[in-house]
Structure 1
Amino acid sequence: MIPVLVVLNMLVPALPRAMEARAAPAATPAPVASPSPTATPTPAVSPSPTPKPTAAASPSATATPGRVPPPPPAPTPAPPAATRTSPLQAAKPKAVARPKSDPPDISWVRQFGTSGEDYARGVAVDGSGNVYIAGTTFGNLSGQNAGSGDAFVRKYDSSGVEQWTRQFGTTSEDYALGVAVDGAGNVYVAGYTQGNLSGQNAGYSDAFVRKYDASGAELWTRQFGTGSDDRALGVAVDGAGNIYIAGPTYGNLSGQNAGTNDAFVRKYASSGVEQWTRQFGTTGGDEAFAVAVDGAGNVHVVGTTIGNLSGQSAGGYDAFVRKYDTSGAEQWTRQFGTTGGDEPLGVAVDAFGNVYVGGDTGGNLSGQNAGNQDAFLRKYDSSGAEQWTRQFGTGGYDYAFGVAVDGFGNVYAAGSTYGDLSGQNAGGYDAFVRKYDGSGVEQWTRQFGTNGGDSAVSVGVDGSGNVYVAGYTNGNLSGETGLGGTDAFLTKFAAPPVAGFSKSLNPSNGAVPNTVTFTDTSTGNPTSWSWNFGDGTGSSSQNPTKIYSNPGSYTVTLTVANAAGSGSTSQTITTYTAPAAGFTKSLNPAGGVVPVTVTFADSSTGSPTSWSWNFGDGTGSSSQNPTKIYSNVGNHTVTLTVANPAGSSSTSQTVSTYAAPAACFTRTLNPPGGGAPNTVTFADTSTGNIVSWYWNFGDGTNGSSQNPTKTYTMAGSYTVTLTVTNPAGSN
Structure 2
Amino acid sequence: MATEPTLLWSWQDGTSGTDNLYGVAAVGGDDSFVLAGRTQGDWAETNEGDFDFMAVKFAQDGTEQWRLQAGTPETDTFHDAAAVTSSPSTVANMAATGTSAAGDESTAIILAGFTKGGWDGAASAGGSDFVAVSVASGDGSQLWSWQDGTEEDDVLMGVVERGGGSAVVLAGRTGGDWADANAGEGTDFAAVKLEAGDGSEIWRFQDGSSGDDTLKSVAAAEDDTVVLAGYTEGSLGGDNAGETDCAVVKLDADGGVLWRWQGGTAESDVCSAAAVAEDGSIVVAGYTVGSWGGSEANAGEDDLVVVKLDKDGNELWHWQEGTPLKDRLFAAALCEDGGFVLAGYSEGDWAAADAGAGGSDLIAVKLSPEGEVLWRWQDGNAGSDWVTAAASTGSGGSIVLAGTSEATWQDSATTTTTGDDTTGLTTEDFVAISLDVAEADVDATRAPVPALPPTSPDNVAGLTSGGSSVMAMPLPFSSPALGGGAGGSHGAPLFFGLAVAVAVHLARRVSASLFF
Secondary structure of the structure 1 residue equivalent to 2:410: helix
* Aligned equivalent of 2:171: 246
Distance in 2, matches of 1:302 and 1:251, equals 19
Residue 120 in 1 paired to residue 21 in 2? yes
Q: Which amino acid aligns with 2:397?
A: G
Q: Which amino acid aligns with 2:180?
A: G
Residue 381 (structure 2) aligned to one of 414, 426, 450: 450
Distance in 1, matches of 2:134 and 2:332, equals 23
* Aligned equivalent of 1:340: 267
Secondary structure of the structure 2 residue equivalent to 1:186: strand
Within a 5 Å distance, the mapping from 1:307-322 to structure 2 comes to 307-322=234-249
Residue 224 (structure 1) aligned to one of 148, 165, 173: 148
Distance in 1, matches of 2:437 and 2:366, equals 12
Ranges of 4+ aligned residues in structure 1 off by more than 4 Å: none
Q: Spell out, residue by residue over 1:113-164, the C-alpha distance to the aligned partner (whole angstroms, 9 max, x if none).
A: 1111110111111231101110110011101111111010100001100000
Within a 5 Å distance, the mapping from 1:271-286 to structure 2 comes to 271=197, 272-286=199-213
Residue 326 in 1 paired to residue 263 in 2? no
Distance in 2, matches of 1:224 and 1:157, equals 33
Do the aligned residues in 1 keep the contact of 2:5 with 2:439 (CA within 8 Å)?
A: no
* Aligned equivalent of 2:135: 212
* Aligned equivalent of 2:429: 487
Within a 5 Å distance, the mapping from 1:391-540 to structure 2 comes to 391-425=320-354, 426=356, 427-463=358-394, 464-479=396-411, 480=415, 481=417, 483-484=420-421, 485-496=427-438
* Aligned equivalent of 1:237: 161
Change (3 A) 1:395 1:241: farther
Within a 5 Å distance, the mapping from 1:70-109 to structure 2 comes to 99=1, 101-109=2-10
Residue 363 in 1 paired to residue 290 in 2? yes
Q: Which amino acid aligns with 1:397?
A: K
Secondary structure of the structure 2 residue equivalent to 1:296: helix
Q: Spell out, residue by residue over 1:22-50, the C-alpha distance to the aligned partner (whole angstroms, 9 max, x if none).
A: xxxxxxxxxxxxxxxxxxxxxxxxxxxxx
Residue 390 (structure 1) aligned to one of 315, 319, 333: 319
Q: Which amino acid aligns with 2:18?
A: E
Instruction: Give the drift of 1:497.
Output: 6.4
Distance in 2, matches of 1:347 and 1:419, equals 24
Look at both structures and tell me which one has the larger radius of gyration over its CA atoms.
1
Distance in 1, matches of 2:171 and 2:378, equals 30
Do the aligned residues in 2 keep the contact of 1:351 with 1:407 (CA within 8 Å)?
A: no
Distance in 2, matches of 1:394 and 1:241, equals 44
Q: Which amino acid aligns with 1:251?
A: G
* Aligned equivalent of 1:258: 183
Distance in 2, matches of 1:240 and 1:136, equals 26
Do the aligned residues in 2 keep the contact of 1:350 with 1:407 (CA within 8 Å)?
A: no
Instruction: Give the drift of 1:496.
Output: 4.1
* Aligned equivalent of 1:293: 220
* Aligned equivalent of 2:108: 186
TM-score normalised according to structure 2 size:
0.75
Structure 1: runs of 5+ lacking an equivalent: 1-98, 499-731
Q: Spell out, residue by residue over 1:338-383, the C-alpha distance to the aligned partner (whole angstroms, 9 max, x if none).
A: 1111111001112111111011111101511111001111111111
Q: Which amino acid aligns with 2:337?
A: F
Do the aligned residues in 1 keep the contact of 2:152 with 2:174 (CA within 8 Å)?
A: yes
Residue 111 (structure 1) aligned to one of 2, 7, 12: 12
Q: Which amino acid aligns with 1:133?
A: L
Q: Spell out, residue by residue over 1:577-612, the C-alpha distance to the aligned partner (whole angstroms, 9 max, x if none).
A: xxxxxxxxxxxxxxxxxxxxxxxxxxxxxxxxxxxx
Change (3 A) 1:497 1:313: closer
Q: Which amino acid aligns with 1:402?
A: A
Q: Which amino acid aligns with 1:230?
A: D
Secondary structure of the structure 1 residue equivalent to 2:154: coil
Within a 5 Å distance, the mapping from 1:503-652 to structure 2 comes to none
Change (3 A) 1:444 1:305: same
Secondary structure of the structure 2 residue equivalent to 1:233: strand
Residue 270 in 1 paired to residue 196 in 2? yes
Q: Which amino acid aligns with 1:140?
A: D
Distance in 2, matches of 1:360 and 1:168, equals 33
Do the aligned residues in 2 keep the contact of 1:406 with 1:462 (CA within 8 Å)?
A: no
Distance in 1, matches of 2:351 and 2:401, equals 16
* Aligned equivalent of 2:424: none
* Aligned equivalent of 2:102: none
* Aligned equivalent of 1:537: none
* Aligned equivalent of 1:53: none
* Aligned equivalent of 1:601: none
Q: Root-mean-square deviation (CA), in Å? A: 1.4
Q: Spell out, residue by residue over 1:513-538, the C-alpha distance to the aligned partner (whole angstroms, 9 max, x if none).
A: xxxxxxxxxxxxxxxxxxxxxxxxxx
Distance in 2, matches of 1:433 and 1:461, equals 13
Q: Which amino acid aligns with 1:165?
A: R
Distance in 1, matches of 2:65 and 2:328, equals 31
Distance in 2, matches of 1:135 and 1:268, equals 21
Do the aligned residues in 2 keep the contact of 1:233 with 1:289 (CA within 8 Å)?
A: yes
Instruction: Give the drift of 1:270.
Output: 1.1
Q: Which has the higher contact order (CA 8 A, sep 6+)?
A: 2
Q: Which amino acid aligns with 2:148?
A: F
Distance in 2, matches of 1:311 and 1:380, equals 15
Secondary structure of the structure 2 residue equivalent to 1:195: coil
Distance in 1, matches of 2:60 and 2:212, equals 41
Secondary structure of the structure 1 residue equivalent to 2:119: coil
Do the aligned residues in 2 keep the contact of 1:414 with 1:432 (CA within 8 Å)?
A: yes
Distance in 2, matches of 1:497 and 1:398, equals 26
Do the aligned residues in 1 keep the contact of 2:267 with 2:290 (CA within 8 Å)?
A: yes
Q: Spell out, residue by residue over 1:238-283, the C-alpha distance to the aligned partner (whole angstroms, 9 max, x if none).
A: 2333111111111110111111221111111212111111101111
Q: Which amino acid aligns with 2:179?
A: S
Instruction: Give the drift of 1:318.
Output: 0.9
Structure 2: runs of 5+ lacking an equivalent: 86-105, 422-426, 441-516
* Aligned equivalent of 1:501: none
Aligned-pair identity in percent equals 32
Q: Which amino acid aligns with 1:475?
A: A
Distance in 2, matches of 1:148 and 1:226, equals 22
Distance in 1, matches of 2:215 and 2:438, equals 36
Residue 376 in 1 paired to residue 305 in 2? yes
Q: How many residues align?
A: 399
Distance in 2, matches of 1:234 and 1:157, equals 22
Distance in 2, matches of 1:316 and 1:423, equals 32
Distance in 1, matches of 2:236 and 2:270, equals 14
